[in-house]
Structure formats: structure tokens, C-alpha cells
Chains A and B, each alone.
Chain A
């Protein structure tokens, strides 16, 4: 791939999704684009890029963008965010929303669904405390392919063994051939939608809890700031934000401040 083609493609990618490619990612770009080219009946990456330059076909650009996303995820990733959710955040929400008896959660980079489904199972485990409550979990992602997998709620043996306690596996999954399927009672709790984090999240509604984990790492400082500011606008004043282990608001956005004692959890500055 020529340096010129690399630059052209990474620019499109950044503009479309915020994903930043440094030049040492040339190999990654090539290896991910080749299947896209093949799928289009195009022989080489050079021809694929030429085709994009010529036609600017949005559908093709979407395919290229999707091919460049990293979708790795697992159930109860890093454990502690989910412990914090169950032991600290959820009890507080139940207290603060006792009169309206409802709350909303947004997983802003839901990938194949493990994160929102982990939250759904965590909530179901507390079901006794939640009778009469209404809660919504919205999972969004930029990749249509990965959203389709998330909606299906079907996972391999390898996927269900990374992070999921066996007690929950037995309780909330059914085995079908070699695949593990989430039971409808869990699946129905999560609503998956396409959403690009570069857009205005306003239309998604208002949220009390936001998980935006392991996606900001792929963006540059400016994009991180813009995304975080956007998220802050659709959070309720006392809402909380969970970021990934390698992510922070520090030096990126003034809208959030760390909550002492809760690693990776942030509250809104405007909440005082």
C-alpha cells in the first residue's frame, strides 16, 4: 500500500469514526482491508482504495470503517467495574430514584454485547430489590456486524469462559450444539442500536449510568474530549460514567471528575 493511499484511508477512517491509525498500523490496515476488497470482488487493496477515491460510495466506506474496529470484549471485563456497579452505584440509584422507580443505562461501545449483558445479569441478580422498577439498558456501536452478533446473544465456549462465573452461566444461558445462548429474559433487557460516538447523542435520551469502556483509547485527545463532553450532556446530574482501565478524563474533559475510591468511575463536575 502506498503512503498516499494509507494517508487517504486513515483520514476517511478518522473522519468517519474517530479511529486513529499511526503509520505503524499499515500492516493492520492491509490485513483488515483485504477481506473487504475480496468481498467486493476487487483483487487488491490498491484497487479498493482507487475505487473509494473514485466513487466515494458510502456503503463501501462503512464496510472499511467496520473492518477497522477492534471488537474484543468479554463478560464482566476487569471485574471491578461490575462489582462497583452492584455494590456502590446500583444501591445509590435505587435510593435516589425511589420515587420514580426507573433508571437508564447506556453502553456506548457495546461491541458483541458482553458488557450490557453483564450489567443485565448483575441487575437480575438483585431482582428482589427491583420489583416494580423500570430499567432500560441501551447498547450502541458503530459496527452493524458486531451489533448483529450482540442481538443474537450467542457465544462460543471460549467467550463464556472468559470472565463469566459458572453460576451465572448455568442460570442465564442455554446450550445449543457448541454454542451458548443467552436466555430471552436477559436478552430482552438490552436494546441494541447503531450509534456513532462522533455524533450528538441527544436523541438517545437521558442516562443515569454510562459505560464507555475501551473505545476512547482508539481516539486522539481532541476526539476523546468531544465524545466525553457529548456524553456529559445526556447524563442526569447525579449520573456516573465508567471508563476502561487505560482511559481517563484527566486532561481530556472538564465535564467529569473522578469519584474517590472508585477506580475508573466518574461523576459530573456540574453536580458540584
Chain B
């Protein structure tokens, strides 16, 4: 079973994402901000990370940059999932090593389409 770490400070979003990912046969774990997620990743790397941008303590972009510096940190597929929906943010995310980008609001169809595109489904 593939694993996905859901990183979002909103409990509701984490719950929605968890439900969708379970239906797609992913095992999930959750983190409430970038720092939390980074600690998780220093212990074990998931196959995929669904990543919010705006979060307290450490945001998604800081996390992504730090993750890619970890040993084997280039391995997890990182999919941003955020309300930032302007070209600049999307471009920066892709240039900084994100594999895909989901603009909120999302639904199971979009999650499935994006996870398929990056080869996880």
C-alpha cells in the first residue's frame, strides 16, 4: 500500500483528503504544519505528500525546500493543495520541486486525476 502524508492546518481539509485517499487505497498520516511534517519525514519518507501552502509555524514552501535537502528527500512526490491559485505561486511551486499542484477547492475527481498524472495510481 502506498503512503501519503497530508499536511494541512485545517482539520476539515485533512479529514476530506484522508477520506478520498483511503478510497484510492492510500495509507495516510497527518501533520498540522511544515515543521511537524519535516520531523515526520526525517524519520520515514512517505510515497506522496499532499501539501498546503499557508500554515502557521512553517509554511508549505519552506517545508518543501527543507524536504528536498534531506537524504533521499527528492523521492516523495509532492503535490501542493492550496487556495493560492495565481500563476506566480504555481510557477514557484513547480520550480521549487513540487511535482503537481491542486487549487482548492478540490474533490475526489481532481485528487484522482492528479495522483494518476504523477504515476501514483
Return the CB mask of A165-177 against B: 1 if under 8 Å, else 0. 1110110001100
Interface size class of A (residues with CB under 8 A): 10 to 19
A170/B91 in contact, CB under 8 A: yes
Q: How far is the CA of A166 from the CA of B82 in the complex (A)?
A: 14
Contacting residues, chain A, for B69 (C-beta < 8 A): none
Q: A149 to nearest B CB, angstroms?
A: 21
Contact among A157, A158, A162, A166 with B100 in the assembled complex (CB-CB below 8 Å):
A166
Contact among A162, A169, A170, A175 with B113 in the assembled complex (CB-CB below 8 Å):
A162
Contacting residues, chain A, for B100 (C-beta < 8 A): 165-166
Return the CB mask of B79-121 against A: 1 if under 8 Å, else 0. 0000001110011001000001111001001100110110000
The tally of residues in B whose CB lies under 8 Å from a CB in A reads: 17
Q: How far is the CA of A157 from the CA of B85 in the complex (A)?
A: 9
Q: A122 to nearest B CB, angstroms?
A: 14
A162/B94 in contact, CB under 8 A: no
Q: Known contacts A157-B85, A165-B117, A175-B87: does B94 contact A170 (CB below 8 Å)?
A: yes
B90/A161 in contact, CB under 8 A: no
B87/A174 in contact, CB under 8 A: yes
Contacting residues, chain B, for A245 (C-beta < 8 A): none
Give 12 new A-B contacts, CB below 8 A, not counting A163-B117, A169-B90. Answer: A79-B117, A157-B85, A158-B110, A161-B103, A161-B106, A162-B109, A163-B113, A169-B101, A170-B90, A170-B94, A174-B87, A175-B86
Q: Which residues of B contact A (CB under 8 A)?
A: 85-87, 90-91, 94, 100-103, 106, 109-110, 113-114, 116-117
Q: Which residues of A contact B (CB under 8 A)?
A: 79, 157-158, 161-163, 165-167, 169-170, 174-175
Name 5 interchain pairs, CB-CB below 8 A, sorted by A: A157-B103, A161-B102, A163-B113, A165-B117, A167-B94
